[in-house]
Amino acid sequence: MMKLNGLGVSPGIGIGRALVVTRGMHHLRFRVPERRVAAEIERLAAAREQSRVQIRHIKERIAATVGDEHAYLFDAQLLMLDDPMLVDRAATIVREERLNAESALQRALDEVSALFDRMDDPYLRERKGDVADVVGRLSVNLTSGGDPLELFRDVEGPIVLVADELSPSLIAQLDFQRLAGFVTDAGSWTYHTAILARSIHVPAVAGLRNASGAIPPGALVAVDGSSGEVLVDPPPDVVADLEARSRKRRAYERSLDEYGTLPAVTADGTPIRIEANVELPEEAARARQRGAEGIGLYRSEFILAGARAAGLDEEAQYLVYRRLLEAMQGGRVTVRTFDVSESQLGVAPPGEPLRAPLGLRGLRLSLSFDEVFQAQLRALLRAAAHGPLRIMFPFVTGVEELRAARAAVTQAADALRGRGVAVPHVPIGIMIEVPSAALTIDLLAAEADFVSIGTNDLIQYTLAVDRTDDRVSRMYEPLHPAILRVLRQVAKGAGRRGVPVSVCGEMAADPVLLPLLTGLGLREFSMTPASIPVAKQVVRGIRLSDTVRLASRALKAATAADVEKVLAESMATVKR
């Protein structure tokens, strides 16, 4: 048994067979069912034939342009295609170990490379590059043969996705019922994939550095998303023990469900609003069951996951927003306009990194793509006829952006009225997730109908710590004195203007931090649905008079560790 330790980012225990995904969907490694073996070998043969045709073409071109003497290299490549140690060896691996064609080919390459490494002759050693070149071509031809998601559907049993990085859009396309867990080399608690894992209840461990290299495809993997432990090929008694713990945990969660139905009112009588963060419309019903009064953050960019251009369509979006409102049955729904980078919107030249955090993203991206923005705003304003909808803009840095966004809403409303559509009043709010917005909260609150603090980004930009980089995750401190001050300032600044302020970052979902947040003056929280029952339990046990004192002590602490001490001491005295 191999044991790996990372950051538990989505609680619970999941056990399944490893499906290894690296470089997006480019490298998929898993064990195929018996009935697929012949088809996998067939795919290898087809890739070999396609590669043969391509290499012959290249050889002819080189012979015609540079001369025959340079074309011989490709003769060697053609011979390699038929070498029993390569494609044929891969076919044997598929047959014997039931690995998918891509991983079998990679294994064959590793074996050949090891042989080359042992050779004394430097000329021969260098031929390793040629073999890798041929295998690269074979792999491309293998993958271009079909949609990798088709393959996923064919893998048997519960799956643990083991990846270097997992994009939320990849996960959004999969059948969640089949997923037992996620294990990633990169990532941390506020990584979007971790947030999504929590909302679809899939245990996850991130920041493992090299799990995708160390865990063999098809291995039995147990993921403990609470402790951050990942066990590879655990013996049956360990599996039985984990399963028992998992059942206990689920029973405990069910026992908390009753709190979901109770009102969130503090012991001294102040109502606290608890809403849900939702990434997928199908989660809205569950959010309501868990006791959410509304949806405090719908991350609309998830519509684009997998759908891309189709997700930009006004009608398609209208149906999603309407569905959310209907699922909440009169509960308020706050939709955040797309918070993506150019590449995620599909408007960037290929090759741009997945997330360009400080480039054209969020509201500034929407403001630069008028057509996209107008379609989204029209869809939202139309959906507002079906319930209490609010529009929220992400990544606002100052008043000018808010004004421009408001003007865009007016323009969309005018366009709809021109089409004979009645447009109801829709509150317009902003995320406070950039320090410049927090520092100008008085100015922004004067022009916004509501604000919501996105602590995930606010922490990373205030502390200059990348939220997705596991190497600095220890420095990502929600309890840093700077964060407490900024939260206090936003709560006060918005409060003075009578503008409602909520917290929708992951800090809101932490039951240990809730008393402190109420003491800092915050009264509205939006969190992943699974956290709602515990949050309500906490709220019902606190007295604001106590939490205000707690906050004032915490605000005097010099370090995050000191703040933690203050919180720990208060646990004994503040009734929770």
- Kindly list the residues in this chain that would bind ligand PEP in the complex (CB under 6 A): 297, 299, 339, 433, 454-457, 504-505
User: Are the C-beta atoms of residues 173 and 305 closer than 8 Å to each other?
Assistant: yes
Closer residue to Mg ion in complex, CB, 433/470: 433
Least CB distance from residue 395 to ligand PEP, whole Å?
A: 8
The answer to whether the Cα torsion of 78, 83, 89, 92 is positive or negative is: positive
Can you say how many angstroms the Cα of residue 195 is from the centroid of all Cα atoms in its chain? 6
Number of neighbours of residue 259 by Cβ within 10 angstroms? 19
Q: Counting contacts by CB under 5 A, is residue 477 touching Mg ion?
A: no
From 476, 530, 480, 493, select the one nearest 508 (Cα to Cα): 530
Dist. CA 94–CA 223, nearest whole Å: 27
| Among 27, 201, 480, 504, the one annotated catalytic | 504
| Among 27, 192, 201, 480, the one annotated catalytic | 192
Closer residue to Mg ion in complex, CB, 232/431: 431
Closer residue to ligand PEP in complex, CB, 107/299: 299
Interacting partner of 576 out of ligand PEP, Mg ion, none (Cβ under 5 to 8 A depending on kind):
none
At residue 163, φ and ψ (nearest 5 deg) are: -145, 160
Least CB distance from residue 522 to Mg ion, whole Å?
A: 17
Interacting partner of 477 out of ligand PEP, Mg ion, none (Cβ under 5 to 8 A depending on kind):
none
User: Are the C-beta atoms of residues 299 and 279 closer than 8 Å to each other?
Assistant: yes
Closer residue to Mg ion in complex, CB, 8/505: 505
Which residues make Cβ contacts (< 8 Å) with residue 276, sequence separation at least 6?
Answer: 283, 284, 287, 288, 290, 292, 294, 295, 296, 526, 527, 528, 529, 532
Closer residue to ligand PEP in complex, CB, 188/455: 455
Whether 192 is catalytic is: yes
What residue is closest to ligand PEP based on CB?
Answer: 454
Closer residue to ligand PEP in complex, CB, 181/505: 505
Ordered DSSP codes for 449-513: SEEEE-HHHHHHHHHT--TT-GGGGGG--TT-HHHHHHHHHHHHHHHHTT--EEE-SGGGG-TTT
Which residues make Cβ contacts (< 8 Å) with residue 392, sequence separation at least 6?
Answer: 297, 334, 335, 336, 337, 428, 429, 430, 431, 450, 452
Interacting partner of 455 out of ligand PEP, Mg ion, none (Cβ under 5 to 8 A depending on kind):
ligand PEP
Ordered DSSP codes for 171-217: HHTS-GGGEEEEEESS--TTSHHHHHHHHTT--EEE--SSHHHHSPT
User: Are the C-beta atoms of residues 341 and 365 closer than 8 Å to each other?
Assistant: yes
Count of all residues that appear for the chain in the document: 576
CA distances from 491 to 297, 502, 516 (A): 18, 9, 13
Least CB distance from residue 453 to Mg ion, whole Å?
A: 10
Least CB distance from residue 414 to Mg ion, whole Å?
A: 30
Interacting partner of 504 out of ligand PEP, Mg ion, none (Cβ under 5 to 8 A depending on kind):
ligand PEP
Least CB distance from residue 455 to ligand PEP, whole Å?
A: 5
Q: Which of 228, 454, 515, 521 binds Mg ion (CB under 5 A)?
A: 454
Q: Counting contacts by CB under 5 A, is residue 168 touching Mg ion?
A: no
Closer residue to ligand PEP in complex, CB, 234/505: 505
Which residues make Cβ contacts (< 8 Å) with residue 77, sequence separation at least 6?
Answer: 55, 130, 133, 134
Cα Rg of the chain (Å, integer)? 27
Closer residue to ligand PEP in complex, CB, 15/304: 304
Whether 425 is catalytic is: no
220-224/229-232 β-pairing: antiparallel
Closer residue to ligand PEP in complex, CB, 30/393: 393
Least CB distance from residue 379 to ligand PEP, whole Å?
A: 20
Which one of 23-31, 106-114, 455-463, 509-517 is the stretch in contact with Mg ion (CB under 5 A)? 455-463
Q: Counting contacts by CB under 5 A, is residue 457 touching Mg ion?
A: yes
Least CB distance from residue 339 to Mg ion, whole Å?
A: 6
Which residues make Cβ contacts (< 8 Å) with residue 451, sequence separation at least 6?
Answer: 429, 430, 431, 432, 441, 444, 445, 490, 494, 499, 500, 501, 502
Interacting partner of 299 out of Mg ion, ligand PEP, none (Cβ under 5 to 8 A depending on kind):
ligand PEP
Least CB distance from residue 534 to ligand PEP, whole Å?
A: 19
Least CB distance from residue 29 to ligand PEP, whole Å?
A: 30
User: Are the C-beta atoms of residues 337 and 376 closer than 8 Å to each other?
Assistant: yes
Query: Scanning residues 392 to 451, which ones bind Mg ion (CB under 5 A)?
Result: 433
Burial class (CB in 10 A: 0-12, 13-18, 19+), 322: buried
Active-site amino acid positions = 192, 504
- Residues lying near Mg ion in the complex (CB under 5 A): 433, 454, 457
